[in-house]
Amino acid sequence: MEIAIAATLLSTAFSYHSAQQNAKAQEYAADAAEAQGKVNAQIDVNNAVDAVAQENFKQSAAEANKFRDLEAIQRKRVALSRKLDADLAKERISLSSSYGTMEDVFRSYDMAANNELASFDFDASASSYQYNLQAGEAGRKRNLAWDTGLAQREFTLASAANTATQYRNQAANIRTAAIGEVVGGLASATSMGATAGSDAKWLFN
C-alpha cells in the first residue's frame, strides 16, 4: 500500500511540475508576443515615415518644377511682350497718316497682340495649376500615409496585447488545474493511507 501511495504522490508531483513548466512556457510566449508586437509596430511607423518622405519629395519636386517653369515662362512672356510692342510700333509707322481707318487698323493689331498675351498667360496658368495639383495630391497622400501608419501601429500593438493575454490566461488555467490535481492526488493518497490503517487494524483483531 505504501508503494501505491508513493506512486500517487510522485505522479501528482510530476504532473504539477509539468503543468508549471507548461504555464511558464505560455508566459514566455506572452512576453514574446508583446516584444514582437513592439517590433512590428516600429516597422509600421518606419514604413509610414518612408511613405511620408516619398510624398514630401514628390511635393517638393512639383513645387520646384513649378517655380522653375514660372521663371522660364516669365522670361518668355517678357520677350513676347517686347516683340509684340515692336511689331505694333512697326505697324504704326507703316500705316499712312492719310489712311482714314489707321486707328481702327492699329486697334485691331493691338487687340490681336493682347489676345496673344492672354493666350500665353492662360497656358502658363494651366501649367502652374497642374503642378499645384501634383503638390496637393502629394500632400494628401503624405497625410494619409502617416495616419494609416499610426492606425496600423495601434492595431499591431492591440493584436499583440490580445495574443499575450490569451497566453497568460492559458497559463493561469493550467496552474489552476494543476492545483486541483495536487489536491486530488493528496486526497487520494490520504484515502489510501486511511484504508491501509484500517486493514492493518483488522489484521490484529
Q: How far apart are CA 171 and CA 159, in angstroms?
A: 19
The tens digit of pLDDT for each residue in 3-35 reads: 666 666 566 677 777 878 888 988 899 999 999
CB 52 within 8 A of CB 146: yes
pLDDT value at residue 94? 67
Q: How far apart are CA 26 and CA 177, in angstroms?
A: 15
Structural domain of residue 96, as residue ranges? 2-204
Helix/strand/coil (H, E, C) string of 125-185?
HHHHHHHHHHHHHHHHHHHHHHHHHHHHHHHHHHHHHHHHHHHHHHHHHHHHHHHHHHHHH
Give the pTM. 0.61
Q: How far apart are CA 14 and CA 137, in angstroms?
A: 66
The tens digit of pLDDT for each residue in 153-168 reads: 999 999 999 999 999 9
Q: How far apart are CA 102 and CA 110, in angstroms?
A: 12
Number of domains into which the chain is organized: 1
User: Residues 138-148: what's their mean pLDDT?
Assistant: 89
pLDDT value at residue 158? 93
